[in-house]
Structures are given as structure tokens and as C-alpha cells.
Chain A
């Protein structure tokens, strides 16, 4: 049983990386600007995986993007599904009335995905998919999308999201985007990519460091810290029109931008009045209001999803620890007590826990604290982890790590069971940030 699982995992990894490679090659042909492609490799898994059979959609092979393969890769990467083989019955069914339910039930298939891709006379493409419950011999969900060919990859992610949500009860994150920083010799690039690492493009590039990208909750802007003027300055970059403006360029440090849930304000760290303190500032850069007044380092604010609280890092107690305060700066409460170095708190999307970095025996590991029980779970066992970023459904946490002297991105499920490693052609990748769920779901 154990052996089977390992074989399956290995096969999935191979298939995935083959697809990522194909995708990367395709992208290189399409876009000269995309120099740092990501490759996602699942390095752990298991637990209660949902078995599912995704059949090739009829006629999908005549299009550059094979929908069923992108859907399968998405579901596999989430770690929550066990992709089963497609059996031997031919021709493959593409409509419910062609399905021999007895055959699939005998194979142990509970959930079957099928469909068809149709080239329409107006040049558009119709993608039809259905998910069938073989025990009920009925459709669980089904949609038809009419799109242009360039949107087929996006539609595949959307189908994976629908399947994920139907089977887990939680939103899928396959249609979301991530941001990260790629470092080349003498060059830093801020990239935005699809959640599967495809379509990676930089939105800013220069030869000084870029850190702390943060997506606005409405998905239209990214705030970040750039050293292009040889000191830390916070910018807000509009992804819709590509323009950007300075959010804060006061004397001293301007850093650690965190968006309020309404996308209208940000909490940031400024040292304009002496030492790094937390301020609230309007998204247009006006009206910074001081929230902390500690005489110690206060930085790394993170809003609770309801906008009522801010978690932050402070060394007011002698060592850096995580504190929580109300959004007005009152009722400050220390949250971490184990160890002498707890930093970079990030609220989970449901507000029930927070991820942070904890130093234990010289290791900097990703940890998760449950706010109700105040129990901490260590999720990683590497040496230098940092910059955690929750997927918008809270299931995965992206983070930065160092492997073999090189910066990589990695992801771990919030229960610690599924692990992914994301590598790039860049010298280093770091500072991941996960964008919000698509608004028009």
C-alpha cells in the first residue's frame, strides 16, 4: 500500500514537471520578458486524498492547451486528490449518456470528469465539462464556457476550481496569481505569475533590492518596498494600467506594507519619528497616523480578515515577539512566548490562526498558532524559512527557503502534510505573496 502511494507520487511528479517544462518552453516562445519560470514539484503528500478520474476531453488534442491535463495537474498539486488512470474503454465518453456506469463503478471510480472542446465557426472555442457521481449515476456539476483560445488555460484552472469546491466544500485557488521576487546577478525582478507558476512576467526590474510585495485584497494593486533610490521606499503598483506611485518616502525606513481588508488603507512601518513604528496610511499615501508608541522596533503588521486587529512583530520585551493590537493601536497583547525569536506574523484567511517564523535550536521554521487554543505547530524543518503567505483559501502556505545556498519558494499545507518545492531559473526566488480569489467567481 505504502509502495503504491510512493509510485503514484513519483509518477505525478514526473508528469507535472514534464508539463511545467512544456509550459515553460511555450512561454519562452511567447514572451521574451518571462525569464524566471517556476517549476512546482510535490515532495510530500498523503493523508485522505479524494480519488478522481479526469478523462481527456473529446477533441482537446487539437488545441495548444490540453484542458484535462491542466486540470489534473492542478488537482494533483493541491495534494488533496488522487488522480486515477483513465481505464481502457474506447471511445472515451464525452457526454453522460455515453457513460457505462457499471464499468467505472467496478474500477472503483466514484467521481468522473468528462467533456468536449468544440471549435465554433466564429473562431471561439466552447469548452464543456461535467463531473459525474458514479454511485448516484448523476451529474454533480457541469458547465460550458465559450472563450477565445488564449483563455483556454484560464478556463482549465476555473474547471479545477469548480471541481475542488464541489468535492472539498472550500474555494479552489487554481485561478489565483502569486507575486515573488527573482534575483539575478545585478538584477532584481518583481514577478506576477499564475498560481501554477505559468505566465510569469515581471512588473518591475532594476539592480537594487525589492522586498515585501503585498496584494491589495481587491487584486488590482501590489504594494512593495524598493531600494531603487538606495533606501527603502514603499510604492503602490497598479496592475491594471501599470502605473505606480510612492506611498511613503519619509526619512529612515519605509517598509512592511499590509493592506486593510477594504483595500483603502495600509499599515506600514516608518522610522520617521525615531525608531520603526507602525502607522496607518491611506492608499494614496496621505495622512499617516501613528498606531504604536513603544520606543522599540515595531514592524510587520498583518490585518485580521475582519479588519479589527493587527498582528505585528516587536522587540519591546527584549527579543522579537509577536503581538496583537486593535486596529486603533489599543489593547496590545503578546502572543508568542516560546523561544527568543518569533517574527513575521500573517493572519490566516479565516482569522482563526496565524503563520509566523520561529527560531528553535538555530533553525528558522514556519509555524502556525491556533488563536483559540494558543497552541503552536511547527510546519517545516529546514534551516532558513521566511516570508509566509497564505493561499486565499487558507489551505497552503507559500514561503521562502534556502536550499543549497539558493533561494527557493516552497509551500506546505496548513496541516503540514503536503509539501511542494518551487524552483526557478533565476539565481534566487524569494518574497512570495499570494493574490486574492478572482472577484468574478
Chain B
């Protein structure tokens, strides 16, 4: 249908341009022009008939294409339905997969199934101790760092907006340092761990309510060169 419309438009445009050219020609060239460009009644009728035929042909083709497509889709759906009823037989995954993942620590850190994909430790108000529920997380990252001596982390301490900015800056440092200390206690060399405090200056949650505050009382474990800098 679209194609038909376009064809019609083109035809109209061509006709329009032609008549415009004729009327704007100067008197001197008028006779000559009449001879060349003014078609006779017969010629016009013939051209019109040819055009109509072309349009009809194109319409026919389009119709056929659409029907063909519909037929193919129906066939594919039938095949899929038949396939679904068949028993599924798949080869078992190679169990040496872990070896491959270790060679690419970045992918392991990003695997949502791995505890290492979790990087945040949350705190109570004015507290910097690592709560029991986050101890295993810190330990997992510590062990990972022990296995990957070439990796470095930056622990970023954050606080909620309440209270003093300066006290929060010191508290955020203490939060980050407490994570570092827990890691060094299981043997991670201190040189693999940097700490920084953003205090209450870079709140992840923008709100001014308990939900936002809880999200912002946080230390993040950032793998240098692996994670994007915030």
C-alpha cells in the first residue's frame, strides 16, 4: 500500500514539474517547446493506462509477499510446537568452568551468583563495627584478595546526611578502616587496600528519610581498575 502511495506521489510530482517548466519558459522558445514537450491526447491516454497497469502489478506482488510471510510464520509456529513436545537432551556443562573463571577475576566479581558481586557493608547510626550479617561478605573479599595478589581495592566509607559533616567524614574513614582491618586480620597485605571517606558528601540515595539514610550508611568495596569510579 505504501509503495503505491509513493508511486502516485512521484507521478504527481513529475507531472507538476513538467507543467511548471512549460509555463515559465520564455516566449522565444515557445514554438519549439510545444513540439517537443506537449504530449498528444493519445500519448497521454497510453501512458496513463501503462501507469495503471504498473500499479496494479505492484499491488498484486505486495499481496503475494504478505501471504507468503504469513504462511512461513504459521509453519514456524507449527514446528516450534512440535519441537516443544520432544524430550530435551543436552550435554552436561564442563565442570572445570571454575578454573576458567579464576583466570578472569573481573567476570567472577560481576557474577551475580557469587557473594563477591555484593560490595556494600551497611551500618547502624553513628556505628562503624561490621555487623555479623556482613562478616562473611568481608571475608569473601579478603580471601579473594589473598588469591589475587595483583588486585587492589579501595574501601569507600559513607555516612547519612544527619549531624556534622566533619564528624561524618571522620566516621566514614573509621568505617572504611574497620573493613580494611578485618581483611588484614585474615592476612591480606595492607598494600592491597586503600581507604577513603566521603563522609556525608556523596549520598547514593538522595532522600531525607530513614530509607535513604540507611542506604547511605555504607562502605563500598571498589576493585581498582575493575570497577568504574563513581
User: What is A's interface to B at a CB cutoff of 8 Å?
Assistant: 209, 211-212, 225, 227, 230-232, 252-253, 255-256, 269, 271, 274-276, 297, 299-300, 313, 315, 319-320, 341, 343-344, 357, 359, 364, 384, 386-387, 402, 405, 431
Contacts and interface: CB of A to CB of B under 8 A. Distances in A.
29 contacts: A209-B198, A227-B198, A227-B201, A231-B196, A231-B197, A232-B197, A252-B173, A252-B195, A253-B169, A253-B170, A253-B197, A255-B166, A255-B169, A269-B170, A271-B170, A276-B170, A276-B173, A299-B170, A300-B164, A313-B166, A313-B167, A315-B167, A319-B126, A320-B164, A320-B167, A343-B166, A357-B163, A384-B161, A402-B161
Contacts of B136: none
A189 to B, nearest CB: 15
A405 B208 contact: yes
A341 B208 contact: no
A275 B167 contact: no
B167 A299 contact: yes
Interface of B: 126, 161-167, 169-171, 173-174, 177, 195-199, 201-202, 207-208, 229
A343 B167 contact: yes
A384 B168 CA distance: 14
Nearest to A345: B164
B164 A386 contact: yes
B interface majority secondary structure: mixed
Contacts of A300: 164, 166-167
A386 B163 contact: yes
Contact of A275 (B163, B169, B174, B229): B174
B167 to A, nearest CB: 5
The CB with the most chain A CB atoms within 10 A, among B164, B195, B202, is that of B164
B213 to A, nearest CB: 11
Contacts of A209: 198, 201-202
Given A230-B196, A253-B197, A364 B162 contact: yes
Contacts of A276: 169-170, 173-174
B166 A344 contact: yes
B212 to A, nearest CB: 11
Contact of B177 (A230, A275, A344, A402): A275
B171 to A, nearest CB: 7
B208 A402 contact: yes
